[in-house]
Chain A
Amino acid sequence: MNVPKQFKFILGGLSLLAVVTITYKAYLLSKNESSFYPDEVYKVTYRYFFKTDTSATTIKAYLPKNNSRQQISRQKSTLPGNIKFSTIADGSNIKGRWFTEAQNTYESLSYSFFFKGKSQIYGLTETFRPIPDAMDQYLESTRNIQTAALPISRLANNLKKQADTDKKTIQALFDYVHGIPSAPIITLTDALSALERNEASCNGKSRLLVALARNLGYPARIKGGIILTESNKRTSHAWAELFINGNWVPFDALNGHFAYLPANYLELYEGDEFLISHSQGIQFDYSYEITKEESLSILDEEAGETQRVTAFSLWGLVKSKTISKKNLFLLLMLPLGGLLVALLRNIVGIRTFGVFLPVLIAFSLLETGFTTGMALFLFLVLFVGLITRPFDNIGLLHTPKLVISLTLMVLVMAIGNFLGFTFDIPWLSSLTLFPTIILTISAERFSKLIVEDGMHKATGTLFQTLMAVSVCYLLFSVEGLDNILILFPELLLLIITACMILGRYVGLRWTELLRFEPLLNPKYI
């Protein structure tokens, strides 16, 4: 029974085609040498509404700049003809300036841009290098950052006493400020009142942290920006930055980010400033409209080559919101996981409950986490497998018996879920993430296997299924695999070819090497 020639020909052609297009696209991608791989992408729109005054009206707001962890692109300003827009430098910040001489008119304008951000962790040494000159402005006392005030000074020195290195000192200051109860205070809170009231929002906390740091001689400043989440919001955010070993290192004492900035932090300006300023006495309103954009980190969407690469990929489906990136990834992973299970079964020779069960369980593990998920899976199969055994002994027909198992499985899941939510146990409430039907069939097969082949072989199969699940999970957690599968769906053709080759593999399975060892090892014969 040989594979027909035409078949080989078609397969060879398909795989060649796949390899050629993959190589071509990889070549195009490698040409645009973007080395910025963002974790998250957002579109941000500032919207301003106001009524002009009887004299000239000005609105100013900080605009974002590129740096090592954020890239800004496709800036677009939309405004009526009577308003003039310009950008002006303000120290190291950039401001947008909208100016009009129209009088007593209602105006609305917007400014939008795309933000690509990476999260960044800063490593701190125990002892910091000496601070350079010209840092005086970051050490001084201001109206709202009362560095030299006695309570600040006393607290700072108290906290310092318990710490023997620079890093521990900063950690102590940070922990103190982080520990202050947070409150949504809209009015301005200076460092001293944040300390005295023992309650503050982001700006109070960041001022207090800056004041404490400056008091101990660490250069510090306020940083302003917006935390980006899919929403329409009016709140901006402030955090502190300390100058450590030549870098400005972020500390967000409100959200507990120590020397770390998440990917969705839009940095806008430095200094103890307000994001927006406008002419006195006008009616003014604003909002920030933020939408999250699906992104592929290896894709630089502005590059011309990208267009040609994505035209022959599934990225369009995600862009047009036909399917979410996650669902598409899961869909594409199914064949790859299947191939892995086929390899494990036909080459390694392990036994599993069902062919695709390990793949689906591995998917569930992505949601629940590996250890919890494994334990839950084991529990569900064992528990339902064992509690349905009495029904076997009654001598029930197969199908009604299967329905009993399914019902018990659903009950266990529902009860687990209920208990999980009631007592706030997250791992219990994740029970329903598992593929119920397939799990039931596994439990059923497990209990049947106990009867047919004994506990020993049944637990062996269960254990080997767990092994296959772990291998699938390892495969799914490979970083960047989603990018590759979405950009190079031709890989699926290669999976077919691989299976054609695997499907004709007649060699001994690895487990058979053990089984037939007496016949393979000459010393026995």
Chain B
Amino acid sequence: MLSRIFKVPNPGGVIGLNRRNIEFIYPHNQRRHYILADDKVKTKMILHQNDIACAKTYAVIERISQIKAKWESLQNQSALVLKPARGCGGGGIKILKKSACGQWQSSGKTISEARIFQHITSIISGLFSMASNDVCLIEECIVPHPFFAEIYDEGVPDFRIITLKAEPLMAMLRMPTSKSDGKANLHQKGVGIGVDMDAGTLTQVYDGKRYSNHHPDNENGVFGKQIPYWPGMLELAQKTARAFPLDYLGIDLVIDKVKGPQIMEVNVRPGLGIQLVNKCGLRSTVK
């Protein structure tokens, strides 16, 4: 009875949180280096130093007194993103675009300078970071490649590639849905789409319960769809993994319409749902 509970047949090499922590995270990632992935400003410093493609950093605002001056220096940009450096769950991210008549807009509505300053102040005060203070990161706004729109045309989709010692193990494409409020996270009602690592093509769509061959909001089949720049993305992921002293990573990438693959962020504790999306255990991918 007891051995039946503890010895579940697991031919696919599915790993759970216990094994992820003990065999993947603890031996490969040292806790003192977590901050390099958890703090987006530090992440981007490493990315820039290593010439890894990522959204250009326009400004880093650490103190409320810097807001006015730094903001003024950004006025020649036409689009930008405000982010908390240590935010979690995508909270506090604001995309700002200049309208034809030169006014800043957020989600299609004009936003006053005072509102923008208030948002930056909130970020610096740690409102989105479960901490007493944070840093506001202002960076280039990435324009998604039309490839994403062919699958689903809203929100912010991204690729997640898991690397172990700079070797890509598994990947998925995360897509927002009409129910996910623009977010692509699996546990926020986004969907995951499996990736054939060798062919660079999409496989099945997984919505957290069922598998299908199309995004839940339309009928366009995705199986076998070629991912643009796939070898370049793998290379970028490897390069990124080598740049960090962390050996087990979940690397998030997007494809810019013009500039191609860009690194968005890196995670030291990538989730395990990717196994379900790809119908494959992580252990079977480790050579």
A397-B132, A452-B89, A512-B16 given; A520·B10 CB < 8 A = yes
Distance in Å: Cβ of B276 to nearest Cβ of chain A: 6
Partner of B279, one of A395, A397, A399, A519: A519
- How many chain A residues sit at the interface, stated as a range, is 20 to 34
Which one of A19-27, A97-105, A166-174, A500-508 contacts B? Answer: A500-508
Other 11 A-B pairs with CB < 8 A, given A349-B17, A395-B122: A349-B16, A397-B126, A398-B127, A399-B132, A453-B187, A505-B18, A506-B15, A508-B19, A509-B17, A518-B211, A520-B8
| A398-B126 in contact (CB<8A) | yes
| B14-A507 in contact (CB<8A) | no
A507-B18, A519-B14 given; A513·B279 CB < 8 A = no
Q: Which residue, B5, B16, B23, has most C-beta atoms of chain A within 10 A?
A: B16
Who on chain B is nearest to A399 by CB? Answer: B132
Distance in Å: Cβ of B217 to nearest Cβ of chain A: 20
Q: Which residue, A453, A507, A525, has most C-beta atoms of chain B within 10 A?
A: A507
Task: Determine the chain B residues whose CB is within 8 A of the CB of A375 once the complex forms.
Answer: none
| A1-B18 in contact (CB<8A) | no
Q: Does B27 contact A (CB under 8 A)?
A: yes
| A507-B19 in contact (CB<8A) | yes
Task: Determine the chain A residues whose CB is within 8 A of the CB of B12 once the complex forms.
Answer: 519-520, 525
Who on chain A is nearest to B21 by CB? Answer: A506
| B281-A519 in contact (CB<8A) | yes
Who on chain A is nearest to B28 by CB? Answer: A1
| A508-B10 in contact (CB<8A) | yes
Chain B residues with a Cβ closer than 8 Å to the other chain, count: 32
| A509-B16 in contact (CB<8A) | yes
Q: Does B275 contact A (CB under 8 A)?
A: yes
Task: Determine the chain A residues whose CB is within 8 A of the CB of B17 once the complex forms.
Answer: 349, 509, 512
| B22-A506 in contact (CB<8A) | yes
Task: Determine the chain A residues whose CB is within 8 A of the CB of B8 once the complex forms.
Answer: 507-508, 513, 520
Q: Does B156 contact A (CB under 8 A)?
A: no
- The 0/1 profile, CB within 8 Å of B marked 1, for residues 1-18 of chain A is 100000000000000000
| B14-A398 in contact (CB<8A) | no
| B6-A507 in contact (CB<8A) | yes
* Separation of A33 and B126 alpha carbons in the complex (Å): 67
Distance in Å: Cβ of A510 to nearest Cβ of chain B: 8
For window 224-281 of chain B, which residues contact chain A by CB distance below 8 Å? 275-276, 279-281
Task: Determine the chain B residues whose CB is within 8 A of the CB of A108 once the complex forms.
Answer: none
* Separation of A181 and B236 alpha carbons in the complex (Å): 91
Q: Does A516 contact B (CB under 8 A)?
A: yes
A-B contact list, 29 entries, CB within 8 Å: A1-B22, A349-B16, A349-B17, A398-B127, A398-B130, A399-B132, A453-B187, A505-B18, A506-B19, A506-B22, A507-B6, A507-B8, A508-B10, A508-B15, A508-B18, A509-B16, A509-B18, A512-B16, A512-B17, A513-B8, A516-B14, A518-B279, A519-B12, A519-B14, A519-B279, A520-B8, A520-B9, A522-B11, A525-B279
Distance in Å: Cβ of A140 to nearest Cβ of chain B: 66
| B280-A398 in contact (CB<8A) | no
Q: Does A297 contact B (CB under 8 A)?
A: no
Task: Determine the chain A residues whose CB is within 8 A of the CB of B187 once the complex forms.
Answer: 453
A1-B27, A507-B18, A508-B8 given; A516·B122 CB < 8 A = no
Task: Determine the chain A residues whose CB is within 8 A of the CB of B14 once the complex forms.
Answer: 508, 516, 519-520
| A346-B10 in contact (CB<8A) | no
* Separation of A520 and B23 alpha carbons in the complex (Å): 20
